[in-house]
Homo-oligomer: A and B are copies of this chain.
Protein backbone atom coordinates (compact mmCIF):
# COMPACT_ATOMS: atom_id res chain seq x y z
CA UNK A 1 0.00 0.00 0.00
CA UNK A 2 3.02 2.32 0.40
CA UNK A 3 3.56 5.00 3.05
CA UNK A 4 0.69 7.17 4.24
CA UNK A 5 0.02 10.10 1.89
CA UNK A 6 -1.38 13.51 2.63
CA UNK A 7 -4.76 14.53 1.17
CA UNK A 8 -2.97 16.98 -1.13
CA UNK A 9 -0.52 14.34 -2.37
CA UNK A 10 -3.31 11.88 -3.11
CA UNK A 11 -5.39 14.53 -4.85
CA UNK A 12 -2.40 15.54 -6.99
CA UNK A 13 -1.79 11.87 -7.91
CA UNK A 14 -5.45 11.43 -8.83
CA UNK A 15 -5.66 14.59 -10.95
CA UNK A 16 -2.36 13.91 -12.72
CA UNK A 17 -3.98 11.28 -14.94
CA UNK A 18 -7.23 13.11 -15.70
CA UNK A 19 -7.88 15.33 -18.72
CA UNK A 20 -10.89 17.20 -20.05
CA UNK A 21 -13.04 14.94 -22.24
CA UNK A 22 -12.80 15.20 -26.03
CA UNK A 23 -15.17 17.87 -27.34
CA UNK A 24 -18.41 16.91 -29.07
CA UNK A 25 -20.78 18.97 -31.19
CA UNK A 26 -24.14 19.26 -29.41
CA UNK A 27 -27.54 20.87 -29.91
CA UNK A 28 -27.83 24.07 -27.90
CA UNK A 29 -30.18 22.87 -25.19
CA UNK A 30 -28.25 19.63 -24.74
CA UNK A 31 -25.13 21.71 -24.17
CA UNK A 32 -26.63 23.58 -21.19
CA UNK A 33 -24.16 23.66 -18.32
CA UNK A 34 -21.29 22.36 -20.47
CA UNK A 35 -18.04 24.16 -21.18
CA UNK A 36 -17.45 25.57 -24.65
CA UNK A 37 -14.52 24.03 -26.54
CA UNK A 38 -14.36 26.54 -29.37
CA UNK A 39 -14.11 30.30 -29.78
CA UNK A 40 -17.48 31.37 -31.20
CA UNK A 41 -17.59 34.20 -33.75
CA UNK A 42 -20.70 35.85 -35.14
CA UNK A 43 -21.24 34.74 -38.75
CA UNK A 44 -23.17 37.93 -39.58
CA UNK A 45 -24.23 41.19 -38.02
CA UNK A 46 -26.87 41.24 -35.27
CA UNK A 47 -29.22 42.86 -36.08
CA UNK A 48 -28.66 41.56 -39.58
CA UNK A 49 -30.11 44.80 -41.05
CA UNK A 50 -30.78 48.31 -39.81
CA UNK A 51 -34.29 48.31 -38.35
CA UNK A 52 -36.78 50.72 -36.75
CA UNK A 53 -36.43 51.04 -32.96
CA UNK A 54 -40.16 51.72 -32.62
CA UNK A 55 -43.22 52.14 -34.83
CA UNK A 56 -42.67 55.23 -36.99
CA UNK A 57 -41.94 56.73 -40.39
CA UNK A 58 -38.79 56.21 -42.45
CA UNK A 59 -37.64 59.55 -43.91
CA UNK A 60 -34.62 61.39 -45.30
CA UNK A 61 -33.66 63.56 -42.32
CA UNK A 62 -33.03 66.61 -44.53
CA UNK A 63 -36.73 66.53 -45.48
CA UNK A 64 -37.88 67.01 -41.85
CA UNK A 65 -35.08 69.06 -40.32
CA UNK A 66 -37.33 72.11 -40.09
CA UNK A 67 -40.28 70.25 -38.53
CA UNK A 68 -41.66 71.84 -35.35
CA UNK A 69 -44.97 72.01 -33.49
CA UNK A 70 -45.71 75.43 -35.05
CA UNK A 71 -44.35 74.49 -38.51
CA UNK A 72 -45.07 70.79 -39.11
CA UNK A 73 -43.79 69.07 -42.26
CA UNK A 74 -46.16 67.00 -44.40
CA UNK A 75 -44.87 64.06 -46.44
CA UNK A 76 -46.68 61.52 -48.63
CA UNK A 77 -46.47 57.89 -47.33
CA UNK A 78 -45.41 55.59 -50.21
CA UNK A 79 -46.05 52.32 -48.37
CA UNK A 80 -45.77 50.20 -45.23
CA UNK A 81 -42.96 47.92 -44.07
CA UNK A 82 -43.90 45.21 -41.56
CA UNK A 83 -41.46 43.58 -39.16
CA UNK A 84 -40.14 40.34 -40.59
CA UNK A 85 -40.58 41.36 -44.24
CA UNK A 86 -38.06 42.60 -46.79
CA UNK A 87 -38.92 46.18 -47.82
CA UNK A 88 -40.03 46.39 -51.45
CA UNK A 89 -40.14 50.19 -51.54
CA UNK A 90 -37.57 52.99 -51.78
CA UNK A 91 -38.01 56.32 -50.01
CA UNK A 92 -37.45 59.03 -52.61
CA UNK A 93 -36.66 62.67 -51.63
CA UNK A 94 -39.71 64.27 -50.05
CA UNK A 95 -41.39 60.92 -49.38
CA UNK A 96 -41.84 58.65 -46.34
CA UNK A 97 -42.78 55.04 -45.49
CA UNK A 98 -44.61 53.71 -42.46
CA UNK A 99 -42.56 51.16 -40.44
CA UNK A 100 -43.48 48.73 -37.67
CA UNK A 101 -41.04 48.30 -34.76
CA UNK A 102 -38.25 46.02 -36.00
CA UNK A 103 -39.03 46.61 -39.70
CA UNK A 104 -36.06 46.97 -42.04
CA UNK A 105 -35.22 50.55 -43.05
CA UNK A 106 -36.02 50.92 -46.76
CA UNK A 107 -33.51 52.20 -49.33
CA UNK A 108 -33.23 55.97 -49.44
CA UNK A 109 -34.28 56.63 -45.83
CA UNK A 110 -31.74 57.40 -43.10
CA UNK A 111 -33.93 58.13 -40.06
CA UNK A 112 -37.12 56.89 -38.36
CA UNK A 113 -39.51 59.45 -36.84
CA UNK A 114 -41.43 57.84 -33.95
CA UNK A 115 -45.21 57.72 -34.49
CA UNK A 116 -45.73 59.82 -31.35
CA UNK A 117 -44.04 62.79 -33.08
CA UNK A 118 -46.55 62.63 -35.95
CA UNK A 119 -50.27 62.50 -36.66
CA UNK A 120 -49.97 58.76 -37.46
CA UNK A 121 -51.28 59.25 -40.99
CA UNK A 122 -51.67 56.45 -43.53
CA UNK A 123 -51.43 58.02 -47.00
CA UNK A 124 -49.63 61.10 -45.75
CA UNK A 125 -47.95 62.03 -42.45
CA UNK A 126 -47.56 65.28 -40.52
CA UNK A 127 -44.22 65.42 -38.66
CA UNK A 128 -44.19 67.78 -35.66
CA UNK A 129 -40.58 67.42 -34.41
CA UNK A 130 -37.25 67.25 -36.24
CA UNK A 131 -35.42 63.99 -35.48
CA UNK A 132 -31.63 63.85 -35.21
CA UNK A 133 -30.23 62.52 -38.51
CA UNK A 134 -29.80 58.73 -38.16
CA UNK A 135 -31.98 58.44 -35.04
CA UNK A 136 -34.80 55.94 -34.38
CA UNK A 137 -32.74 53.02 -35.66
CA UNK A 138 -31.08 49.88 -34.40
CA UNK A 139 -28.17 49.67 -36.82
CA UNK A 140 -26.97 46.46 -38.46
CA UNK A 141 -24.18 45.05 -36.26
CA UNK A 142 -24.94 47.39 -33.35
CA UNK A 143 -25.45 44.43 -31.00
CA UNK A 144 -22.87 42.01 -32.44
CA UNK A 145 -20.64 42.64 -35.44
CA UNK A 146 -19.91 39.96 -38.03
CA UNK A 147 -16.65 38.22 -37.08
CA UNK A 148 -16.79 39.41 -33.48
CA UNK A 149 -15.88 36.80 -30.84
CA UNK A 150 -19.03 36.48 -28.74
CA UNK A 151 -17.91 33.65 -26.44
CA UNK A 152 -14.44 32.41 -25.58
CA UNK A 153 -13.46 28.78 -25.41
CA UNK A 154 -13.79 27.65 -21.79
CA UNK A 155 -17.03 29.58 -21.15
CA UNK A 156 -19.68 27.67 -19.25
CA UNK A 157 -22.99 27.69 -21.13
CA UNK A 158 -25.68 29.17 -18.91
CA UNK A 159 -29.04 30.51 -20.14
CA UNK A 160 -27.69 33.87 -21.35
CA UNK A 161 -24.86 32.19 -23.28
CA UNK A 162 -27.32 29.84 -24.97
CA UNK A 163 -29.39 32.90 -25.84
CA UNK A 164 -26.52 34.64 -27.55
CA UNK A 165 -25.52 31.47 -29.43
CA UNK A 166 -29.07 31.18 -30.76
CA UNK A 167 -29.17 34.89 -31.57
CA UNK A 168 -26.09 34.67 -33.79
CA UNK A 169 -27.64 31.69 -35.55
CA UNK A 170 -25.72 28.77 -34.02
CA UNK A 171 -27.88 25.62 -33.67
CA UNK A 172 -24.96 23.48 -32.42
CA UNK A 173 -21.73 24.14 -30.55
CA UNK A 174 -18.57 22.27 -29.70
CA UNK A 175 -18.49 21.54 -25.96
CA UNK A 176 -16.88 19.12 -23.55
CA UNK A 177 -19.54 16.50 -22.83
CA UNK A 178 -20.68 15.60 -19.32
CA UNK A 179 -18.61 12.69 -17.99
CA UNK A 180 -20.56 9.46 -17.68
CA UNK A 181 -20.12 8.33 -14.07
CA UNK A 182 -21.03 4.75 -13.11
CA UNK A 183 -21.72 4.16 -9.41
CA UNK A 184 -21.49 0.64 -7.94
CA UNK A 185 -21.67 -0.74 -4.40
CA UNK A 186 -20.40 -4.02 -3.05
CA UNK A 187 -20.18 -5.64 0.37
CA UNK A 188 -21.69 -8.38 2.50
CA UNK A 189 -25.39 -8.31 3.31
CA UNK A 190 -26.35 -5.22 1.31
CA UNK A 191 -30.05 -4.93 0.48
CA UNK A 192 -32.03 -2.44 -1.61
CA UNK A 193 -34.25 0.17 0.07
CA UNK A 194 -37.75 -1.24 0.41
CA UNK A 195 -36.56 -4.59 1.78
CA UNK A 196 -36.49 -4.83 5.55
CA UNK A 197 -32.92 -5.89 6.47
CA UNK A 198 -32.74 -9.20 8.31
CA UNK A 199 -30.05 -9.85 10.92
CA UNK A 200 -26.67 -8.75 9.56
CA UNK A 201 -28.07 -7.03 6.49
CA UNK A 202 -27.87 -3.30 5.90
CA UNK A 203 -29.62 -1.10 3.38
CA UNK A 204 -27.35 0.14 0.59
CA UNK A 205 -27.39 3.94 0.55
CA UNK A 206 -24.07 5.03 -0.98
CA UNK A 207 -25.08 4.63 -4.62
CA UNK A 208 -28.12 6.89 -4.07
CA UNK A 209 -26.14 9.67 -2.42
CA UNK A 210 -23.20 9.44 -4.84
CA UNK A 211 -25.24 9.12 -8.04
CA UNK A 212 -27.03 12.33 -7.06
CA UNK A 213 -23.72 13.95 -6.07
CA UNK A 214 -22.13 12.98 -9.41
CA UNK A 215 -25.06 14.53 -11.24
CA UNK A 216 -24.82 17.67 -9.11
CA UNK A 217 -21.11 17.91 -9.95
CA UNK A 218 -22.02 17.99 -13.66
CA UNK A 219 -21.79 14.32 -14.61
CA UNK A 220 -24.26 12.02 -16.32
CA UNK A 221 -24.60 9.55 -13.49
CA UNK A 222 -25.69 5.92 -13.76
CA UNK A 223 -26.57 3.97 -10.63
CA UNK A 224 -25.67 0.31 -11.17
CA UNK A 225 -26.38 -0.50 -7.55
CA UNK A 226 -25.43 -3.52 -5.50
CA UNK A 227 -22.99 -6.12 -6.85
CA UNK A 228 -22.36 -9.26 -4.76
CA UNK A 229 -19.12 -9.13 -2.79
CA UNK A 230 -17.31 -11.59 -5.03
CA UNK A 231 -14.26 -11.04 -7.22
CA UNK A 232 -15.76 -12.53 -10.39
CA UNK A 233 -19.08 -10.65 -10.10
CA UNK A 234 -17.41 -7.32 -9.37
CA UNK A 235 -14.87 -7.86 -12.18
CA UNK A 236 -17.57 -8.72 -14.72
CA UNK A 237 -19.72 -5.76 -13.70
CA UNK A 238 -16.90 -3.24 -13.93
CA UNK A 239 -15.74 -4.65 -17.29
CA UNK A 240 -19.28 -4.39 -18.65
CA UNK A 241 -19.63 -0.82 -17.40
CA UNK A 242 -16.30 0.31 -18.90
CA UNK A 243 -18.04 0.48 -22.30
CA UNK A 244 -20.09 3.49 -21.24
CA UNK A 245 -18.09 4.91 -18.33
CA UNK A 246 -15.77 7.90 -18.31
CA UNK A 247 -15.36 7.32 -14.58
CA UNK A 248 -16.24 4.41 -12.27
CA UNK A 249 -16.97 4.83 -8.56
CA UNK A 250 -17.12 1.69 -6.43
CA UNK A 251 -18.19 1.88 -2.78
CA UNK A 252 -17.24 -0.80 -0.29
CA UNK A 253 -15.15 -3.95 -0.56
CA UNK A 254 -11.86 -2.13 0.05
CA UNK A 255 -11.04 -2.86 3.68
CA UNK A 256 -7.53 -3.96 2.61
CA UNK A 257 -5.42 -5.05 -0.36
CA UNK A 258 -6.88 -8.58 -0.18
CA UNK A 259 -10.48 -7.37 -0.25
CA UNK A 260 -12.48 -7.84 -3.44
CA UNK A 261 -12.27 -4.39 -5.04
CA UNK A 262 -8.49 -3.82 -4.81
CA UNK A 263 -7.99 -7.32 -6.28
CA UNK A 264 -10.32 -6.58 -9.18
CA UNK A 265 -8.79 -3.21 -9.89
CA UNK A 266 -5.27 -4.65 -9.96
CA UNK A 267 -6.42 -7.17 -12.56
CA UNK A 268 -8.00 -4.48 -14.70
CA UNK A 269 -5.20 -1.94 -14.66
CA UNK A 270 -2.96 0.32 -12.64
CA UNK A 271 -4.96 0.81 -9.50
CA UNK A 272 -4.52 0.26 -5.80
CA UNK A 273 -5.35 1.34 -2.30
CA UNK A 274 -3.65 4.31 -0.67
CA UNK A 275 -3.60 5.13 2.99
CA UNK A 276 -4.40 8.83 3.16
CA UNK A 277 -3.93 10.96 6.29
CA UNK A 278 -7.58 11.95 6.57
CA UNK A 279 -10.63 11.25 8.67
CA UNK A 280 -13.09 9.79 7.92
CA UNK A 281 -12.03 7.44 5.12
CA UNK A 282 -8.29 6.83 5.31
CA UNK A 283 -8.38 3.94 2.77
CA UNK A 284 -8.81 5.45 -0.69
CA UNK A 285 -8.53 3.37 -3.85
CA UNK A 286 -7.71 4.98 -7.17
CA UNK A 287 -6.31 4.05 -10.55
CA UNK A 288 -6.94 3.76 -14.26
CA UNK A 289 -8.34 0.57 -15.76
CA UNK A 290 -9.36 -1.04 -19.02
CA UNK A 291 -8.41 -0.34 -22.62
CA UNK A 292 -9.08 3.39 -22.32
CA UNK A 293 -7.39 3.89 -18.95
CA UNK A 294 -10.70 4.86 -17.37
CA UNK A 295 -10.28 6.46 -13.94
CA UNK A 296 -11.76 4.41 -11.10
CA UNK A 297 -12.30 5.22 -7.45
CA UNK A 298 -12.72 2.68 -4.68
CA UNK A 299 -14.37 4.46 -1.76
CA UNK A 300 -15.01 3.22 1.78
CA UNK A 301 -18.31 1.46 2.63
CA UNK A 302 -19.10 3.84 5.47
CA UNK A 303 -21.59 6.36 4.04
CA UNK A 304 -20.02 9.42 5.60
CA UNK A 305 -16.49 8.37 4.60
CA UNK A 306 -17.71 7.60 1.07
CA UNK A 307 -19.32 11.02 0.79
CA UNK A 308 -16.19 12.80 2.05
CA UNK A 309 -14.07 10.78 -0.42
CA UNK A 310 -16.43 11.79 -3.21
CA UNK A 311 -16.29 15.49 -2.36
CA UNK A 312 -12.54 15.61 -1.83
CA UNK A 313 -11.32 13.39 -4.68
CA UNK A 314 -14.08 12.39 -7.14
CA UNK A 315 -15.78 15.75 -7.65
CA UNK A 316 -12.57 17.52 -8.76
CA UNK A 317 -12.05 14.73 -11.34
CA UNK A 318 -15.56 15.20 -12.74
CA UNK A 319 -14.94 18.96 -12.86
CA UNK A 320 -11.64 18.52 -14.69
CA UNK A 321 -13.28 16.18 -17.24
CA UNK A 322 -15.94 18.86 -17.80
CA UNK A 323 -13.21 21.40 -18.51
CA UNK A 324 -14.44 23.56 -15.62
CA UNK A 325 -12.30 26.48 -14.55
CA UNK A 326 -12.58 25.76 -10.85
CA UNK A 327 -12.21 22.16 -9.68
CA UNK A 328 -12.85 22.64 -6.00
CA UNK A 329 -15.63 23.64 -3.67
CA UNK A 330 -15.23 27.20 -2.38
CA UNK A 331 -13.40 27.40 0.95
CA UNK A 332 -14.27 30.17 3.43
CA UNK A 333 -12.97 31.24 6.81
CA UNK A 334 -15.48 30.94 9.66
CA UNK A 335 -15.54 31.16 13.44
CA UNK A 336 -16.07 27.88 15.29
CA UNK A 337 -19.07 28.04 17.62
CA UNK A 338 -18.08 24.85 19.48
CA UNK A 339 -14.88 23.10 20.43
CA UNK A 340 -13.99 20.52 17.79
CA UNK A 341 -11.68 17.62 18.63
CA UNK A 342 -9.73 16.13 15.77
CA UNK A 343 -7.29 13.32 14.99
CA UNK A 344 -3.74 14.66 15.14
CA UNK A 345 -1.75 13.94 11.96
CA UNK A 346 -4.86 13.67 9.82
CA UNK A 347 -6.94 16.23 7.95
CA UNK A 348 -10.39 15.85 9.38
CA UNK A 349 -13.57 16.71 7.50
CA UNK A 350 -16.26 17.43 10.08
CA UNK A 351 -19.82 17.82 8.84
CA UNK A 352 -20.76 21.35 9.71
CA UNK A 353 -23.58 23.86 9.69
CA UNK A 354 -22.34 27.16 8.26
CA UNK A 355 -24.31 30.29 9.01
CA UNK A 356 -23.90 34.04 9.21
CA UNK A 357 -24.09 35.83 12.56
CA UNK A 358 -23.24 39.50 13.16
CA UNK A 359 -21.78 39.76 9.66
CA UNK A 360 -19.38 36.83 10.13
CA UNK A 361 -19.45 33.26 8.97
CA UNK A 362 -19.90 30.94 11.93
CA UNK A 363 -19.86 27.17 11.92
CA UNK A 364 -20.73 24.33 14.28
CA UNK A 365 -20.51 20.57 13.87
CA UNK A 366 -23.73 19.13 12.41
CA UNK A 367 -23.76 16.48 15.12
CA UNK A 368 -21.88 16.35 18.31
CA UNK A 369 -21.51 12.61 18.35
CA UNK A 370 -19.51 10.08 16.42
CA UNK A 371 -18.30 10.73 12.89
CA UNK A 372 -20.27 8.00 11.10
CA UNK A 373 -23.80 9.20 11.80
CA UNK A 374 -25.85 9.69 8.67
CA UNK A 375 -28.23 12.06 10.42
CA UNK A 376 -25.50 14.67 10.78
CA UNK A 377 -24.68 14.46 7.09
CA UNK A 378 -28.22 15.35 6.11
CA UNK A 379 -28.12 18.47 8.33
CA UNK A 380 -24.69 19.62 7.07
CA UNK A 381 -24.11 22.34 4.49
CA UNK A 382 -20.31 22.26 4.71
CA UNK A 383 -17.29 20.35 5.90
CA UNK A 384 -15.21 21.96 8.62
CA UNK A 385 -11.62 21.22 7.54
CA UNK A 386 -9.36 20.68 10.55
CA UNK A 387 -5.70 20.61 9.42
CA UNK A 388 -3.27 17.75 10.08
CA UNK A 389 -1.29 19.66 12.73
CA UNK A 390 -4.37 20.56 14.81
CA UNK A 391 -6.01 18.25 17.30
CA UNK A 392 -8.46 20.77 18.71
CA UNK A 393 -10.26 23.84 17.45
CA UNK A 394 -11.47 25.91 20.37
CA UNK A 395 -14.83 27.68 20.33
CA UNK A 396 -14.13 31.15 18.85
CA UNK A 397 -11.14 30.00 16.77
CA UNK A 398 -11.06 30.62 13.01
CA UNK A 399 -11.42 27.49 10.90
CA UNK A 400 -11.56 26.69 7.17
CA UNK A 401 -14.91 25.53 5.77
CA UNK A 402 -15.58 23.73 2.47
CA UNK A 403 -19.00 24.94 1.31
CA UNK A 404 -21.37 22.24 -0.01
CA UNK A 405 -24.57 24.29 -0.22
CA UNK A 406 -24.63 27.78 -1.62
CA UNK A 407 -27.70 28.90 0.34
CA UNK A 408 -27.25 29.37 4.05
CA UNK A 409 -29.78 29.53 6.87
Report yes or no: B201 in contact with A162, Cβ–Cβ below 8 A: no
Report yes or no: A197 in contact with B28, Cβ–Cβ below 8 A: no
User: A84 to B326, alpha carbons, bound, how many Å?
Assistant: 41
Count residues of chain A with CB under 8 A from any CB of chain B.
91
A93-129 vs B, CB cutoff 8 Å, 1 = contact: the mask equals 0000000111110000000000000000000000000
Report yes or no: B307 in contact with A374, Cβ–Cβ below 8 A: no
Residues of B contacting A29 with CB < 8 Å?
A: 208, 211-212, 223
A85-B200, A86-B200, A166-B209 are known contacts. Are A161 and B378 too (CB-CB below 8 A)? yes
Report yes or no: A164 in contact with B82, Cβ–Cβ below 8 A: no
Tell me if A320 counts as interface (CB < 8 A to partner B).
no
Tell me if A345 counts as interface (CB < 8 A to partner B).
no
Report yes or no: B171 in contact with A192, Cβ–Cβ below 8 A: yes
Shortest CB distance A354–B (Å) = 14
Nearest B residue (CB) for A43: B196
User: A181 to B168, alpha carbons, bound, how many Å?
Assistant: 25
Within 8 A of B (CB), among A160-186: 160-172
Residues of B contacting A370 with CB < 8 Å?
A: 142
Report yes or no: B143 in contact with A373, Cβ–Cβ below 8 A: yes
Is the contact region of chain A dominated by helix, strand, or loop, or is it mixed? loop
Tell me if A87 counts as interface (CB < 8 A to partner B).
yes
| Stretch from A5-13, A45-53, A263-271, A390-398 that touches the partner | A45-53
A192-210 vs B, CB cutoff 8 Å, 1 = contact: the mask equals 1111111111111111111
Nearest B residue (CB) for A190: B84
Nearest B residue (CB) for A168: B203
User: A162 to B208, alpha carbons, bound, how many Å?
Assistant: 6
User: A3 to B341, alpha carbons, bound, how many Å?
Assistant: 63
Tell me if A303 counts as interface (CB < 8 A to partner B).
yes
Nearest B residue (CB) for A155: B378
Tell me if A147 counts as interface (CB < 8 A to partner B).
no
Tallying the copies of this chain within the complex gives: 2
Report yes or no: A83 in contact with B187, Cβ–Cβ below 8 A: yes
Shortest CB distance A201–B (Å) = 6
Report yes or no: B375 in contact with A216, Cβ–Cβ below 8 A: no
Residues of B contacting A192 with CB < 8 Å?
A: 171
Residues of B contacting A76 with CB < 8 Å?
A: none
Shortest CB distance A138–B (Å) = 8
Of the candidates B160, B202, B377, the one whose C-beta lies within 8 Å of that of A307 is B160
A201-B84, A406-B406 are known contacts. Are A163 and B100 too (CB-CB below 8 A)? no
Tell me if A337 counts as interface (CB < 8 A to partner B).
no
User: A303 to B43, alpha carbons, bound, how many Å?
Assistant: 19
Tell me if A44 counts as interface (CB < 8 A to partner B).
yes
**For A43, A142, A208, A407, which residue has the most chain B Cβ atoms within 10 angstroms?**
A208
Report yes or no: A159 in contact with B200, Cβ–Cβ below 8 A: no
Nearest B residue (CB) for A54: B255
Report yes or no: A159 in contact with B307, Cβ–Cβ below 8 A: yes
User: A255 to B52, alpha carbons, bound, how many Å?
Assistant: 14
Within 8 A of B (CB), among A369-407: 370, 372-375, 377-378, 380, 405-407
Report yes or no: A162 in contact with B212, Cβ–Cβ below 8 A: yes
Shortest CB distance A255–B (Å) = 7
Residues of B contacting A326 with CB < 8 Å?
A: 407
Q: Can you pick out 23 interface pairs between chain A and chain B where the beta carbons lie within 8 Å of each other? A: A28-B193, A32-B212, A43-B196, A44-B196, A46-B203, A48-B197, A83-B188, A83-B200, A84-B188, A84-B201, A86-B198, A87-B200, A101-B255, A143-B372, A143-B373, A159-B210, A159-B213, A159-B216, A160-B209, A163-B206, A163-B374, A166-B193, A167-B303
